[in-house]
């Protein structure tokens, strides 16, 4: 939350389906001086849940509308996309919520890039073993084997691609590989 203190930030909406975390999030927002800007949305990022909450706070006019217009300057996902049920569809829906020129900041677990020089076949096998032994069940449906970067890029490709995509890859030799990136939507 300290990174969200930039003076240009007027409002922050955090989708959090785990109601048990809301009190701590609210407290942290107030402790960081963001209490007046931070609104917790009691939902996941899945369209049918998110749209209802965005309508309640006045960001969407009609949550039942098929077409959505961009409403956010920035969308941040931190270990969110690894656990959504309809992965590609959810990324596409988040993309539509970005305004032209908007940024999508992503920090997500990814499948080990075992076919690259920095990847590891052993780490990729271990991801499969963890998955088989119940990693998803223990870790809130987290999937360590998703090609998040590929899906985020692919969703935008249907709309002409991202204006820019700056992606760093971390811990590629381990079963906990992840990416951290900034994707900028065209048209800004």
**pLDDT > 90? residue 185:** yes
Closest to 104 (Cα-Cα) out of 82, 145, 72, 80: 72
- Lowest-confidence region among 45-54, 63-72, 124-133, 170-179: 63-72
> How is residue 31 written in tokens?
């402790």
Name the region of 14 (left: φ>0; alpha: ψ -120 to 50; beta: rest). Answer: beta
What pLDDT, on the 0 to 100 scale, is given for residue 95? 95
d(C-alpha 30, C-alpha 135), whole Å? 33
When pLDDT is cut at 50, 70 and 90, the band that residue 8 belongs to is: confident
**In the CATH hierarchy, which fold is given to the domain comprising 65-185?**
Rossmann fold (3.40.50)
- Cα dihedral 44, 123, 150, 87 in deg (nearest 10): -20
When pLDDT is cut at 50, 70 and 90, the band that residue 182 belongs to is: very high
Domain ranges, ordered by start, for the chain = 65-185
By three-state DSSP, how is residue 169 classified? strand
- Lowest-confidence region among 58-67, 111-120, 156-165: 58-67
Q: Are the CB atoms for 137 and 155 separated by under 8 Å?
A: no
What's the mean pLDDT when you consider all of the chain? Answer: 91
**pLDDT > 80? residue 1:** no
**pLDDT > 70? residue 94:** yes
pTM (2 decimals)? Answer: 0.89
What pLDDT, on the 0 to 100 scale, is given for residue 146? 93
Phi, psi of 93 (to 5 degrees): -65, -40
What pLDDT, on the 0 to 100 scale, is given for residue 19? 93
Helices (H) and strands (E) in the chain, counts: 6, 6
**pLDDT > 90? residue 24:** yes
Residue with more model confidence, 127 or 69 = 127
């Amino acid at each position: 939350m300290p990174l969200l203190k930039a003076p240009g930030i007027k409002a922050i909406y955090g989708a959090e389906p785990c109601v048990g975390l809301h009190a701590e999030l609210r407290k942290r927002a107030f402790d960081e001086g963001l209490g007046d800007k931070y609104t917790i949305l009691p939902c996941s990022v899945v369209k049918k849940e998110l749209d209802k909450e965005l309508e309640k706070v006045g960001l969407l006019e009609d949550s039942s509308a098929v077409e959505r217009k961009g409403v956010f300057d920035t969308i941040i996902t931190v270990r969110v996309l690894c656990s959504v049920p309809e992965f590609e569809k959810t990324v596409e829906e988040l993309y539509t919520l970005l305004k032209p020129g908007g940024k999508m900041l992503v920090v997500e677990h990814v499948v080990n890039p075992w076919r690259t020089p920095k990847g590891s076949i052993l780490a990729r096998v271990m991801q499969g073993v963890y998955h088989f032994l119940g990693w998803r069940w223990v870790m809130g449906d987290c999937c360590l084997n998703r090609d998040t970067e590929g899906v985020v890029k692919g969703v935008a490709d249907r709309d002409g691609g991202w204006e820019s995509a700056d992606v760093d890859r971390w811990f590629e030799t381990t079963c906990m590989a992840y990416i951290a990136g900034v994707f900028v939507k065209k048209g800004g």
